[in-house]
Amino acid sequence: MKPLEGIHILDLGWVVAGPHATRVLSDLGASVIRFETAKHPDTLRPDMPRKGVTDIAQEGGWQFQEQNRNKLNINVNVKTPGGRRIFEALLKKSDIVCCNQAPRSFRKLGLDYEGLKAIKPDIIVANASGLGDYGKHSGYATYGPILNAICGISGLISYENEASFGYDCVIADYVGGLSLANALLAALEYRDRTGEGQFVDLAQCEQFISCFGELLLEREVTGVDPLPVGNHDYARRMAPHNVYQCRGIDRWVSIACGDDAEWSRLAMCIGQPWAMDSKYATLAGRLENQARLDAEIGRWARSRSPIEITYLLQSAHVSAAPVLNTEETLEDMNLLANKAFQRVEFAPSERKPDSLQVTGLLTPITGAELHVQAPASVLGGDTSFVLRQVLGMADAEIAQAETDGAFSG
């Protein structure tokens, strides 16, 4: 049995954080119905479409596939009377309503917990906004990059003793999504024990800060703000701890030594006189001479390939790994063995490619073999199935819902 079989989720989220939460839940067996409207399709749909795909409602590009495979998709506008009727009918059959909108948009969708609870008493409602459901800045517009700045990550990720260059990737969205998935499972456990639902107010920034909370505690205790460390160990527990340029163009290998014994094995592998210098024998000595140590290892690495170095060092049980680029990641034998990638197959057509690789099961659990059932649906692709098969609506009811605006906007 799949771990989350039998759990029904209504997903009114968009882009990454919310859809990533429902994606990892659906990977483990939960059933997800994703709401989307033609007027405001998911921002990710047009991103990186397959060659020849121009109509964004037609399928959705790579990013959208990544976060929305295995989900049903209905083009129901919950802000209309007809759409609201459909939403409420589905609500009565669901365990979770999941969203990642700014608080004001969340309320405009009519998802207030007390209101939904009146219809489905044990419903679990969650909204993962950037800065939370209340508070001075809860109205802020926050994309991942903005959150990185506010949470302090942009200021911490840079080269040693250099100013921030504005690191802005979407990592905050994944952290928020995973946190949301955790909160939802905890709420489900609580509901199964007590019969009670609840509201989860998730501020993505608060989970993110918690993931490096040690630094906040350090600032609180010492009064000193941590600075960027480049690729060194922020806690100065390890040296060397860096990436080194190798033979070829933009090729790099990572090397770290957790203790003096690991360093002495590395020194043996390098086998050059400088590595035997006693000043490098202790952590204190290696930290004191870190710049020179990095330069020496760098010179040694420059004429070798990342793979050659990795195998040489790993055979002596020294921590090393190549810095993989995209192509190498897709072919890495350990990622492949761990089924880190799965294929979504499209219906046969003239378009090529007719399948795409997306990432696989991130939380492998006994009994949870993941099979990507289907690519993400086209916008509204499952509306008819959901209305007729899940809700048992007759033609006349569907027509009335349409008259009441259900499929507009």
Partner 1 sequence: MASPYTGVRVLDLTNGTGMYAGKFLAGLGMDIIKAEPVKTGCPERGYAPFFHGEQSVENSLFFAYHNTGKKSVALDLDCKEGRELLGRLIASVDVLLDSHPAGWLEDKGFSFNHMQVLNPGLIYGSLTAFGLHGPYRSWAASSELMANAAGGQMFEIGLPNRAPLQFGFNLVSNICCLYLAFGVQAALRRRRLTGEGAEVDISMQTCVAAWRCTPYGAYQRDNSTLPTRVGPTAPFRPSGVYRCSDGMVIMNPLNWGNMIDWMKETGHDVKQYDTPKYLEGPPGHNRNFWNESDEINRFIESFTVKFRAAELMEEAQRRKIPAGAIQKCGDMLTDRHLEERAYFQAVEHPVHGIYRYPGAPFKMSGSPYVANLRAPILGEHTQEVLFGIGVTPAQFAEYKAKGVI
Residue 280: DSSP 8-state:
G
Of 10, 98, 175, 267, which one interacts with partner 1 (CB under 8 A)? 175
User: Nearer Cβ to partner 1, position 333 or 347?
Assistant: 333
Beta pairing partners, 105: none
- Per CB under 8 A, does 333 bind partner 1? yes
Tell me how crowded residue 291 is: count the other CB atoms within 10 A of its CB: 9
Q: CA 122 to CA 163: how far, in whole Å?
A: 50
Of the candidates 27, 173, 201, 382, the residue annotated as catalytic is 173
Instruction: Indicate whether 4 belongs to the interface with partner 1 (CB under 8 A).
Output: yes
Assess 99 for contact with partner 1 (CB under 8 A). Answer: no
Choices 31-39, 75-83, 159-167, 398-406 (CB under 8 A): range interacting with partner 1: 159-167
Residues 55, 108, 248, 328: which binds partner 1 (CB under 8 A)? 328
Residue 159 in contact with residue 230, Cβ under 8 Å? yes
Per the annotation, the verdict on 225 as an active-site residue is no
SS3 361: coil
**3-state secondary structure string across 295-331:** HHHHHHHCCCCHHHHHHHHHHCCCEEEECCCHHHHHH
- Answer for the pair 13, 101: CB distance below 8 angstroms, yes or no: yes
**Interface with partner 1 includes 154 (CB under 8 A)?**
yes
* Min CB(262)–partner 1 separation in Å: 6
Q: Which secondary structure element, helix H or strand E, spans residue 34, and what is its range?
A: strand 31-35
Cis-peptide, bond into residue 240, ω within 30° of zero: yes
Q: Closest approach of Cβ 70 to partner 1, in Å?
A: 15
In this structure, what token pair is assigned to residue 182? 């955790």
CA gap 99, 72 in Å, rounded: 16
Name which position in 57, 107, 110, 252 contacts partner 1 (CB under 8 A): 252
Does position 363 interact with partner 1 (CB under 8 A)? The reply is yes
Contact pick of 147, 387, 393, 406 for partner 1 (by CB under 8 A): 147
Q: Per rule CB under 8 A, is residue 302 in the interface with partner 1?
A: no
Residue 2 touches partner 1, criterion: CB under 8 A? yes
H or E segment to which residue 117 belongs: helix 113-119
Interaction between residue 132 and partner 1 (CB under 8 A) = yes
Residues 6+ apart with CB under 8 A from 234: 226
258 counts as binding partner 1 under rule CB under 8 A: yes
> Judged by CB under 8 A, does residue 340 bind partner 1?
yes
Binding region for partner 1 (CB under 8 A) out of 32-40, 86-94, 219-227, 278-286: 219-227
3-state secondary structure of 126: strand
Q: Which of 238, 275, 297, 370 binds partner 1 (CB under 8 A)?
A: 238
Q: What x-and-dash track marks residues 30-69 binding partner 1 by CB under 8 A?
A: -----------------xxxxx---------xxx--xx--
Point out the residues that are catalytic. 173
